[in-house]
Chain A
Amino acid sequence: MASIDTTSESARRPFEGRRVHLGDVVLQGVAGAAAAGATALVLLIAWKVVDGARPSISKFGISFVWHDVWNPVVGREAYGAASFLFGTAITSFVALLLAAPLAIGIALFLTELAPRVLRGPVTSLVETLAAIPSVVVGLWGILVLGPALRSHVEPWLHSALGWIPLFGPPSSAGASIFTAIVVLTIMILPIVSSISRELFLGVPAELKEGALALGTTRWEMVRGVVFPYARGGIAAALILGLGRAMGEAIAVTQVIGGGTTISWNLFNQGDTLASKIAAEYQGATSNLDVASLIYLGLILLVLSLGANIAAQWIVRGVARRHGVTRGGRA
């Protein structure tokens, strides 16, 4: 909303006490109702998700969050989110760990290094990557990437780094947590890199030129000027990427294989909050089963809203410090 300047404020109300037109009242009323509706929608979503999860909330309470069991057999029903929370945490954090340096590298390349002829095409290519639907990435993940990782990358990582519990023996199926991590990395890469690129472009040229004039190398200039200047924004971009990774359901469902145990072995199958919901969309057997799935959705909603609001808060703080508003470009 950077460019909403203050002069429009006076344009809006040019004369005090001018005649009130019916059309003004109608347009303002209808448009205001739409804005109120959009705001109410957020609250309605939260309320309806809580409402749908209520049978499960009243049966299991908050301990649902740390119980590691998912048994839909009627009569012995027991549900808990722990294994899915674990799956969400491990997939999204490792994906972020892989995507962050790559994304920042791309952004640096595009802002500081790339020859002019490459700058435009590579920027649009990276943005094209963001436009590929998750189901198509998932299709590629399950039929091409998964088998390739299982037969080449996973055995190699296991033999080289098998002493780390993360790199245990590969499972026989093509699906694994590791495949999901790679798919998520691909999906959050364009988001983090395009936000970082905008941040780096926003670093004042006189600061960069000043550093270079003092005799720094280009990397020293980046480390000493660009990174400190963009630090808050990069943190926000990473948090947004994390939120995106946590919320991705379809592509993860396609490649992660499913499972209800907590396993540190990345080459085992697993499930995340979102992928569990997506995988069970037609298989829920009882009301309690459905309510427990919605409870998973509620946890996911809380996590992703937390990430989103944290990122907004950081962005607004940064904008205030820099004396510019950069907010509106979500």
Chain B
Amino acid sequence: MSAQELTARSDGLRRRRAVNRSMELLAWVAALIAVAILGVVVFDVGRRGWSELNWNLLTKQPIPFSFTNAPQGLANAFAGTLVIVGLATAMALPVGILVAIYLNEFAPPRIRNGVGLALDVLAGVPAIVVGIFVYSLLVVGGGGQSGIKAAFALAILMLPFVARTTIEVLALVPNALREASLGLGVPQWRTTVSIVLPRAVGGILTGTVLAVARVAGETAPLLFTSSLVGPQVGWNPAHALQTVPLAIFELSESPDPKDHARAWAAAFVLLLFILLASLTARWLATRSARKIAGR
């Protein structure tokens, strides 16, 4: 091999290594950008929200259409979000678990695939279209907006999520347990309710917490179902209730900087809740994974 050939080969190698190094660098930069974006958003919300945070936000009502200096809050929005998200969970959770039980414990494969596809499609419907749907189904000609209709809209968004996570958890429960129970002559419904579900309860809880965290910040489905509200604190879901995300949305479009301040504070509280919920879910997930496996 001549010296010339050797240099040519090492030149090729050098070029390949350079390409490799620049691609690795690009991947590092991409990761850095993602972390930076997250950092900036969370930092900005935290910094601006923290300085505006006080008890008035949770205890005082807003005073609409007035540039007063009296302390204002968003007590009505926090009450409404509690009621609506609570109701949505109460609707979506049992239905989602039942769907999962049917698909994992009873359904023949063909039906399992069909309903699974329907769940995926349901998960792909944009939130605003779900809002239009509930508006068109229940609000028009059905007595107007109300908290319970908003909860129904949020429940539609939660349902595929709860069902999917429950299916995954049920599938992790060892079949030996089912077979042992059935072998002892226990009917299938007792096996499902007393053997399979208790094993899976941690995973279901994880999925529920994540679903709650996700819909607590949803705004679009509430626009048409629970947006015509006054400043009073209300707990009755038969009436339209203000919610935290909708309040942030409205305040963010206001020209008054004091409204912006309250929007930042509310966003901070919302974000804090969602991050805490995600952390809780992760903690629950590691615990329940150990429990399902029977260790």
A→B interface (CB under 8 Å): 1, 3-5, 7-9, 11-12, 14, 21, 23-24, 26-28, 30-35, 37-39, 41-42, 44-45, 48-49, 51-52, 101-106, 108-110, 112-114, 122, 124-129, 131-140, 142-144, 186, 189-190, 193, 217-220, 222, 240, 243, 246-250, 254, 274, 277-278, 281-282, 293-294, 297, 300-301, 304-305, 307-309, 312, 327-330
Contacts and interface: CB of A to CB of B under 8 A. Distances in A.
A297 B134 CA distance: 13
Interface residues of B, number: 103
A281 B224 contact: yes
Interface string B207-226: 00000011011111001100
B164 A38 contact: no
In this complex, the member of B33, B129, B133, B253 whose beta carbon has the largest number of chain A beta carbons within 10 angstroms is: B129
Nearest to A112: B27
B98 interface: yes
B123 A14 contact: no
Given A14-B179, A45-B130, A144-B44, A249 B220 contact: yes
B291 interface: no
Interface in B178-205: 178-179, 182-183, 187-190, 192-193
A35 B99 contact: yes
Secondary structure class of chain B's binding surface, majority of residues: helix
Interface stretch (B59-67, B82-90, B109-117): B109-117
A328 B168 contact: yes
Nearest to B26: A105
A34 B213 CA distance: 24
Interface in B254-295: 260, 263-264, 267, 270-271, 274-275, 278, 282
B197 to A, nearest CB: 11
B120 interface: yes
B121 A309 contact: yes
Smallest CB-CB A-B distances: 4 pairs: A133-B217, A105-B30, A247-B126, A308-B124
Nearest to A127: B278
Classify the secondary structure of A's interface with B: helix
Nearest to A3: B171
Contact of B175 (A8, A21, A34, A330): A8
Given A138-B252, A250-B249, A328 B116 contact: yes
Contact of B245 (A51, A101, A124, A133): A133
20 contacts: A4-B112, A8-B178, A12-B105, A28-B102, A35-B98, A35-B102, A38-B122, A51-B136, A109-B27, A113-B27, A126-B34, A129-B41, A135-B252, A136-B267, A140-B45, A220-B20, A250-B220, A250-B245, A293-B132, A330-B164
A108 B34 CA distance: 13
